Amino acid sequence: MKKLLILGAGTAGTMMANRLRKKLSTAEWSIDIVDQYAKHYYQPGFLFMPFGIYSEKDVIKPKCKFIPRGVRYVEAKIDRIDAEHNRVFFDSGGHIDYDVLIIATGVKTAPDQTEGMLGNDWRNRVFDFYTFEGASRLHDALREWNGGKLVVHISEMPIKCPVAPLEFAFLTDWWLTEQRLRDKTEITYVTPLSGAFTKPIAAKVLGHLLEEKRIKVVTDFNIGRVDNEQHKIVSWDEKEVGYDLLVTVPTNIGDAAIERSGLGDELNFVPTNRHTLQSKQHENIFVIGDATDLPSSKAGSVAHFQSEVLAKNIFHYIKDEALESQFDGHANCFIESGYRKAFLLDFNYDVQPVLGKYPLPIVGPFSLLRETRLNHFGKLAFKWIYWNMLLKGAPMPGVGHRMSRLGKQIPLEALQPA
Amino acid sequence: MTQKQLNGVTIDVNDEGYMTNHAQWNRDVAAALAKEEGVELTEGHWKVLDFIDKDFAEKGVVPGMRRMNKVGGIPTKDLYSLFPDGPIKKAAKIAGYPKPVSCV
């Protein structure tokens, strides 16, 4: 009996367990999946929690519920991967050997990477919304808000779901307006990049939104430290932004077990072939989702498209064939813009977000790069799709892993420089 | 996309002046691009530019601050003194690569 081992039972790992168990013979292959936590979080839902749109019941379910029959679920913390000997050691002692390994250990926030972020203001005036705990505490903090300086901040790139901080700023503007606190609140969006929108077409189409919503933007801000005494963030070149409430996206970092295994880069992301999803260092190790070092977005939709490619390539690999399936960097995501409206983006390594219809040309029903109510309902409906279809690896009609150019208006400048 | 003359060489650039065809880049082009940014290239600058060049080939993106520190061995303070006001985007421009972007 050969052994396939999946590390991480989050979005990517769970989808792989489901896809592979359907196809791999139970007589020839065992599948084990390891995770240290019992709860599966619907992470896109964290965005809505501070505003009371979603609560705990929307975003948490037991992990084991989504693991298919025929896959052994092991709740354990990984100490390290010994890639030379095809063995994974657990923190509690013990180990599992593998023939093929899939790393799906994801990414987490690391506020300790910024000087002062975990100081006295942490979870008093400084919050994140990328964790269940952070989003819950921020919900409580907003209930006590009476106005002042509210700063939405990105520490460094890359981050999971790169549009989430923008969405947070838009939803904050809406929520404050409804609470009659908007005129008493100054919202500032602080980014290490050169703008809130960095892709030319999106910038042209969406650039006016921030001004319209009276959100001030500070660009090229690389945080050096959080000053808890004077309640301000300070950049490496001594620029300062004061806050009464700081909603930050801390540095995102891969799992510490990757670092302990010597398999990661400076952010513990695993160097991965951007098309085949095979590890660059070991041919029987594959990497999926946020754990990779790919230039694609760290998002559930990406993990979903990758899972289709990776399932095919695992079959190729075990049959000793060339890894023919190619991931093209395809991602799509909704951008909530408040007032029950949203934008939708669809893009890949080569084509930046453009105008058009999705998933079908002309009829859509979703509009790309346009603010519509239907897009917003699509985002809300996605929660059901996530829990009931996506995690189980069920096919989604009309939504292929390769980005379609049909139905899109693609001017020359929409193609990314090679 | 437009074309631009630099020291008698024609390069393709986008609206913000970032090169769109890296094949047209060479050390003289870099020096000319640097001059436009008010930067006179020294050995210290070249250490940064060479690292970006090597790293882009491997990763397909311009390295961030942390990677410059940890992998390139270039301290953040040095980056700011070499390329003031937005060192990464400035260095990327001179190195002939796109500026760091997000997905939108």
Q: DSSP letters along A67-118, please?
A: SPTTEEEEE--EEEEETTTTEEEETTS-EEE-SEEEE---EEE-GGGSBTTT
Catalytic annotation, residues of B: 103
Question: CB–CB of A191/A218 below 8 Å?
Answer: yes
The DSSP code sequence of chain B is -EEEEETTEEEEE-TTS-BS-GGG--HHHHHHHHHHTT----HHHHHHHHHHHHHHHHHSS---HHHHHHTT---HHHHHHHS-SSHHHHHHHHTT-PPP----
Sign of the C-alpha dihedral, residues A296, A297, A303, A305? Answer: negative
Closest-CA distance of chain A to residue B99, Å: 8
Q: Is the ipTM of this complex over 0.95?
A: no
B99 to chain A: nearest residue by CA?
Answer: A194
Q: Which CATH superfamily is domain A2-106+255-318 in?
A: FAD/NAD(P)-binding domain (3.50.50.60)
Does residue A418 carry a pLDDT above 50? no
CB-based contact B60 A274, cutoff 8 Å: yes
pLDDT of residue A412: 82
Task: Give yes or no for A411 touching B (CB within 8 A).
Answer: no
Q: Which of B58, B69, B104 is best to mutate for the A interface (most A CBs within 10 A)?
A: B104
Question: Taking CB atoms and an 8 Å cut-off, how many pairs form between chains A and B?
Answer: 88
Task: Give yes or no for A193 touching B (CB within 8 A).
Answer: yes
Dist. CA A284–CA A270, nearest whole Å: 14
Residues A103-161: pLDDT tens digits? 999 999 999 999 999 999 999 999 999 999 999 999 999 999 999 999 999 999 999 99
Confidence at A199, pLDDT banded by 50, 70, 90: confident
Whether the domain at A2-106+255-318 and the domain at A111-251 fall into the same CATH topology: yes
- Summarize the confidence of residues A174-197 as an average pLDDT: 96
Task: Give yes or no for A273 touching B (CB within 8 A).
Answer: no
CB-based contact A237 B104, cutoff 8 Å: no
The torsion of the CA quartet A53, A219, A185, A213, rounded to 10 degrees, works out to -70
Cis peptide, bond prior to residue B84, ω within 30 of zero = no
Nearest Cβ partner of B101 from A156, A198, A418?
A198
Give, in order, the Cα–Cα distances in Å from B87 to each of A218, A384, B22, B45, B61: 16, 44, 20, 11, 15
pLDDT of residue A417: 59
Boundaries of every domain in chain B: 2-94
Boundaries of every domain in chain A: 2-106+255-318, 111-251, 331-414
The helix-helix angle for B87-94 and B27-36 (nearest 10°) equals 140
Closest-CA distance of chain A to residue B103, Å: 7
Q: Taking CB atoms and an 8 Å cutoff, what residues of chain A touch B69? A: 266
Question: CB–CB of B45/B51 below 8 Å?
Answer: no
Task: Give yes or no for A275 touching B (CB within 8 A).
Answer: no
Pick the CATH number of A111-251 from 3.50.50.60, 1.10.1370.30, 3.40.50.2300, 3.30.1490.190: 3.50.50.60
Report the Cα A131 to chain-centroid distance in Å: 12
Task: Give yes or no for A335 touching B (CB within 8 A).
Answer: yes
